[in-house]
Chain A
Amino acid sequence: MREITYKQAIQEALREEMRRDERVFLLGEDIGVYGGAFGVTLGFLEEFGKARVRDTPISELGIVGAAAGAALMGMRPVVEIMFIDFSTLALDQLANQAAKMRFMFGGKARVPMVLRAPQGAGTGAAAQHSQSLEALFVHFPGLKVAMPSTPADAKGLLKAAIRDDNPVVFIEHKLLYNRKGPVPDGEHLVPLGRAEIKRPGRDLTLIAISNMVIKALEAAEILAAEGIEIEIVDPRTLVPLDEATVLDSVRRTGRVLIAHEACRTGGVGAEILARIVEEGFDYLDAPIRRLAGRDFPIPYSKVLERQVIPQVEDIVREARRLLGRAGGGKRNDQ
């Protein structure tokens, strides 16, 4: 299968959907000539023109609200928020308008919009350009939340999100943009709400989100050399959450580790953990463990930044510990 980068996969999804459906259009800051802060929309202005690739002022609230209004009228806008940290500026329009219009109007409205934004640490961009905010969006019924970890998922989920009749928050990870992976030729859709087992294994279920999937795959190699086979479950979308795939894996392994980059307190790991306990307690042979970002804003120093985000070695250590193997260490605070 051909290999393309995560960024190219997103570009393919956007381009294909824009060619397929003239109601699809883009709006965001510096997405035209500049091509977006991460170059995702480079070349789109030339192909689709100013009307469908709309450079906006720095007005996050205004543009997310405009997208909601256009969507309510039957257009299918895709908004780019330059860094997910800036989505807080637009939160009222996303959380109180886009998410709620259908329900509070009695199920009559449709709000088919996508809000795309990159998140995550690892670029040395400090506290206001590095957060992971998925837990925020998961907490508003009416929104869907997608977090692809591979180029194939990025393409398939974005196409599905654009075709979905609901507001979808599509969270990209900055460190993944230039990472390559196989993507099928031709039409490729990944339905929202279906997890994927990224690596099968019998000993432990590791539920990993976004870039943590990549770290989990590395950790799995190290552990395999020790005879430990971990199963990596990538939910791919947090709303809807594919509880069945998660529980099925837990039933087979009896041990669970959950890993995400967002800070621990109020993180989606807590929600996933709670659902496993509620629905699958009898499958468990050990307490569930979470690996999450530490409860700090992301610090600037490369040394500190690395320490607040779970790393491959942390996953390896936690997995060993859950399986009672040497090198598992004692309790850690991650």
Chain B
Amino acid sequence: MSLTIEALLGMYRTMVRIRAFEERVDDLMMKGLIHGTTHLYIGMEAVATGVCSALKPEDYIASNHRGHGHCIAKGADLNRMMAELLGKATGYCKGKGGSMHIADLERGNLGATGIVGSGIPVATGAALAISMRKEAKVVACFFGDGAANNGAFHESLNLAAIWKLPVIYVCENNQYAMSGPAREMFAIPRIAERGSAYGIPGATVDGNDVLAVHAAATESIRRARDGHGPSLLTCETYRWKGHSRSDANRYRSKEEIAAWQARCPIQRLRRYLEELDGLDARAAAAIEGDVRAEVEEAVQFAEKSPVPSLEGAEADLYA
């Protein structure tokens, strides 16, 4: 592994930032300060972090309903994210999108979508634009195991394959499509096997191992950037929290959740960094303190921000 300690610490900080942001969102939701629904990324931090750290700043991502981690890993401003979740005028979408629709076009985040699988065709089209303009950029498209059973997945992977588009399809298999267990919703053991149906490589990695994700993503991105087309990367992971606010966890056991929590992606990287003498308890506490302060500042910013108005909304509808 050629990653420097600095690079590893950067990944660690990103993962801790995602965790801290999501825990605060969970808390604000419980207090009723965030309305609507929210899908938390806790437990899956290594996937967004591993993939986005392998991208260049000029590359793109397409996110989904469980998208806060993708935004943060692609460098989003926590203030504007939190303001969006609180429905404020200073949010990324001026309060018109909310948790499921954060887009950060300046940083190459093409946006999140609340309909499972529906970001896959859009990501494919973005890669088509890149390909037609002969740019050396790549799109990383995030979606879950549930989306891999949607028609949009199949149509898009085939299109990208026949046109050799610079896109990597990152399937975050968190084991459940809402309550539907992947083991029951697929008749194949590994979702990545579907790559072969479209003539593209499919790989499966431990999605709680940020280094494994980073290495596999780096390979897929290189392939895409070199004009060899798309690939399907499945990251095996787990969401610790329920699907959304309404989830009572009736479809899985406490033991199962605890077993996955014992495989925490953040603790795993921390142990690795400690072995390398790249991180000690004091440094880890400092990082933790920094990001908690950042998140608090984001909450303050969001709370103090003005509510939006419908004035001028027509210009936000039609260009």
A and B: bona fide binding partners:
yes
Which residues of A are at the interface with B, using a C-beta cutoff of 8 A? 25, 51-52, 54, 56-57, 59, 61-75, 77, 92-93, 96-97, 101-112, 141-142, 144, 165-166
**Nearest A residue to B125 by beta-carbon distance?**
A69
Shortest beta-carbon distance, B105 to chain A, in Å? 6
In the assembled complex, B128 has its CB within 8 A of some CB on chain A:
yes
Whether A141 pairs with B317 at a CB distance below 8 angstroms is yes
In the bound complex, residues from chain A placing their C-beta under 8 Å from that of B130 are 73
Are A165 and B129 in touch, CB under 8 angstroms? no
Is B101 in contact with chain A by the CB < 8 A criterion? yes
The residues of B that contact A104 with a CB separation of less than 8 Å are 93, 96-97, 101, 111
The chain B residue sitting closest to A56, CB to CB, is B159
Indicate whether A165 sits within 8 Å of B122 (C-beta atoms), given known contacts A51-B132, A75-B129, A104-B93.
no
A-B contact pairs, 27 of them (CB 8 A): A57-B162, A61-B155, A62-B121, A63-B159, A65-B120, A65-B122, A65-B152, A67-B125, A69-B126, A69-B129, A70-B128, A72-B126, A75-B133, A96-B113, A97-B118, A101-B103, A101-B111, A103-B96, A105-B96, A106-B93, A106-B96, A106-B103, A109-B111, A110-B319, A112-B319, A141-B317, A166-B318
Q: Which residue of chain A is the closest to B102 with respect to CB atoms? A: A105
Shortest CB-to-CB span from A296 to chain B, Å, is 29
Contact of B120 with A92 in the complex, beta carbons under 8 Å: no
B121 touching A93, Cβ below 8 Å = yes
- Given A54-B163, A107-B94, 12 other A-B contacts at CB below 8 A? A56-B159, A63-B155, A65-B124, A69-B124, A70-B126, A72-B125, A73-B130, A93-B121, A102-B318, A105-B92, A105-B97, A108-B93
Contact (Cβ within 8 A) A69 B110: yes
Q: Which residues of B contact A52 (CB under 8 A)?
A: 132
A142 to B313, CA, bound (A): 12
Question: 8 Å CB contacts to A: which residues of B159-176?
Answer: 159, 162-163
Which of B126, B129, B133, B159 has a CB less than 8 Å from the CB of A59? B159
* B76 CB to nearest chain A CB (Å): 13
Q: How many angstroms between the C-alpha atoms of A69 and B95 in the bound complex?
A: 23
**How many pairs of A and B residues are in contact by the CB < 8 Å rule?**
144
B129 A70 Cβ-Cβ under 8 A: yes
Closest residue of chain A to B153 (Cβ to Cβ) is A62
For residue A77, which residue of chain B has the nearest CB? B125
Task: Determine the distance from Cα of A51 to Cα of B134 in the docked complex, in whole angstroms.
Answer: 11
Within 8 Å of chain A (Cβ to Cβ): is B158?
yes
Hey, which chain B residues are within 8 Å of A71, CB to CB?
A: 125
Known: A103-B96, A105-B111. A62 touches B124 (CB 8 A): yes
B276 contacts chain A at the CB level, 8 A cutoff:
no
Interface centre among A54, A61, A63, A77 (most CB of B within 10 A): A61
Is B189 an interface position by the 8 A CB rule? Answer: no
* Contact A166–B319 (Cβ < 8 Å): yes
CB distance from B314 to the nearest CB of A (A): 10
With beta carbons under 8 angstroms apart, the residue of B62, B95, B110, B121 that contacts A61 is: B121
Chain A binding surface SS class: mixed
Query: What residues of chain B lie closer than 8 Å to A67, measured between beta carbons?
Result: 125
Shortest B92–chain A CB gap in Å is 6
The distance from the CB of A225 to the nearest CB of chain B, in whole angstroms, is 44
The answer to whether B315 touches A107 (Cβ under 8 A) is yes
Q: Is the CB of B132 within 8 A of A25?
A: yes
The answer to whether B122 touches A69, judged by C-beta atoms less than 8 angstroms apart, is yes
Q: How far is the CB of B36 from chain A (nearest CB, A)?
A: 13
Task: Using CB atoms and an 8 Å cutoff, list the residues of chain B in contact with chain A.
Answer: 62, 91-97, 101, 103, 105, 110-111, 113, 115, 118, 120-130, 132-133, 151-152, 155-156, 158-159, 162-163, 313, 315-319
Q: Are A68 and B105 in contact (CB under 8 A)?
A: no
* C-alpha gap A25/B92 in the complex (Å): 31
Q: Are B152 and A61 in contact (CB under 8 A)?
A: yes
State whether B125 touches A106 (Cβ < 8 A): no
B193 to chain A, nearest CB (A): 21
Q: Which B residue's beta carbon lies closest to that of A111? A: B319
Cα A323 to Cα B93 in complex, Å, equals 53
B55 to chain A, nearest CB (A): 16
Taking CB as reference atom, which chain B residue is nearest A58?
Answer: B155
Cβ contact within 8 Å between B118 and A57? no
B123 surroundings in chain A (CB, below 8 A): 69
Contact residues in A for B62 (Cβ distance below 8 Å): 69
Q: A65 to B118, Cβ gap below 8 A?
A: yes
Q: A66-B124, A66-B128, A72-B125 are in contact. Are A92 and B316 (CB under 8 A)?
A: no
Would you call B156 and A102 a contact (CB within 8 A)?
Answer: no
B92–A92 contact, CB under 8 A? no
Contact A74 B93 (CB under 8 A): no
Counting from the closest, the 3 A-B pairs by CB-CB distance are: A65-B121, A69-B125, A62-B155
Q: Would you give the shortest CB distance from A52 to chain B, in whole angstroms?
A: 8
Q: Are B317 and A142 in contact (CB under 8 A)?
A: yes
Whole-angstrom distance from the CB of A161 to the nearest CB of chain B? Answer: 13
* Inter-subunit contact A68/B122 (CB<8 Å): yes
Report chain A residues within 8 Å CB of B156.
62, 65-66
Partner of A57 from B92, B152, B155 at Cβ < 8 Å: B155
Contact A69 B128 (CB under 8 A): yes
Most buried by A among B95, B151, B158, B159: B159
The CA of A74 and the CA of B126, in the complex, are separated in Å by 9
The complex places the Cα of A286 from the Cα of B234 at a distance, in Å, of 66
Q: A72-B125, A104-B93 are in contact. Are A142 and B118 (CB under 8 A)?
A: no
**CA gap between A25 and B126 in the complex, in Å:** 14
The answer to whether A73 and B126 have CB atoms under 8 Å apart is yes
**With a CB–CB cut-off of 8 A, which chain A residues contact B319?**
102, 110-112, 165-166
